[in-house]
Amino acid sequence: KAGVTQTPRYLIKTRGQQVTLSCSPISGHRSVSWYQQTPGQGLQFLFEYFSETQRNKGNFPGRFSGRQFSNSRSEMNVSTLELGDSALYLCASSLVFGQVYEQYFGPGTRLTVT
Amino acid sequence: AQTVTQSQPEMSVQEAETVTLSCTYDTSESDYYLFWYKQPPSRQMILVIRQEAYKQQNATENRFSVNFQKAAKSFSLKISDSQLGDAAMYFCAYRRSGGSQGNLIFGKGTKLSVKP
């Protein structure tokens, strides 16, 4: 079974631009979560989607948004990029929402904002 | 708010030896889950081991085992017979029971080096 895939793997943007990252969960998984990883702040939860609905959101500004499609694929969007948005963005999928199943992480998208 | 603390930014172990990574957490909840994740240089986060707070028995997975002390809010990871492939960042994570399973709270991580 294929793992979680994230595209693109690397991205370079300039301040003020917007970016869209994509995540395809493991087949059959319906819950997708996003995390931001930076050297300073570590791993921080962004949001979680299940059945095309955002179920939880972390403490990030409104410039960070996401959505989930009917096939469980998810995208996250960051508008008006700032230098501090440079990070590794990790996506994780799990079977269902509300039960204890392991999260399986993708390889991440490395975003660099210049 | 729940917090997870890993007090050892870096650790080193000789190949075939045993090493213990420390993790403490703070929560007012009685039911929750704790995890250890491994992140090698490839950056792919891999689940190493999971512990349910309601279980008194410590979880084990092959060479990996935990020492879960609920009253002390401590959750250490022991790696036995360390191998070169164990070199990675190790993250301790907490998740509350029920509701969202996506909201993992991570510690800052411990970088483990394995010397041949």
Q: Does A38 touch chain B (CB under 8 A)?
A: no
Q: pLDDT exceeding 70 applies to what percent of chain B?
A: 96
Contact A45 B102 (CB under 8 A): yes
Of residues A95 and B8, the one with the higher pLDDT is B8
Query: pLDDT digit string (tens) for B53-82?
Result: 988 899 999 999 999 999 999 999 999 999
Question: Among A48, A90, A107, whose Cβ lies nearest the Cβ of B100?
Answer: A48
Distance between CA atoms of B11 and B20, rounded to whole angstroms? 9
Say yes or no to pLDDT of A19 above 90.
yes
Q: Report CA B19 to chain centroid distance, whole Å.
A: 12
Q: How far apart are CA A25 and CA A6, in angstroms?
A: 9
The residue ranking higher by pLDDT, A59 or A103, is: A59
pLDDT band for position B102 (cuts 50, 70, 90): low
Say which amino acid occupies B41: P
Residues facing B68 on adjacent strands: B75
Cβ of A102 and B50 within 8 Å? yes
Query: What pLDDT is stored for residue B96 in this prediction?
Result: 84
A105 contact B CB<8A: yes
Q: Does residue B100 surpass a pLDDT of 70? A: no
What is the tens place of the pLDDT at every residue in A45-63?
999 999 999 988 999 999 9
Does the beta-carbon distance from B44 to A107 stay under 8 Å? yes
> What residues contact B81, with CB distance under 8 A and at least 6 apart?
B16, B17, B18, B63
Question: Are residues A92 and B45, on separate chains, in Cβ contact within 8 Å?
Answer: yes
Residue A101: band (very low, low, confident or very high) from pLDDT cuts 50, 70, 90: low
Give the C-alpha separation, A112 to A88, whole Å. 9
Q: How far is B71 from chain A (nearest CA, A)?
A: 22
Q: Of B37, B34, B43, give the one whose Cα is nearest residue B4.
A: B34
Q: Is the dihedral of CA A75, A46, A65, A111 positive or negative?
A: negative
Confidence of residue A15 (pLDDT cuts 50, 70, 90): very high
pLDDT of residue A114: 97
The pLDDT confidence band at residue B8, using thresholds 50, 70 and 90, is very high
Residue A14 predicted with pLDDT over 70 = yes
Label the pairing between strands A19-24 and A87-94.
unpaired
Q: Locate the chain A residue with the closest alpha carbon to B38.
A: A105
The answer to whether B104 contacts A35, with C-beta atoms less than 8 Å apart, is: yes
Nearest CB to A98 within list B43, B99, B107: B99
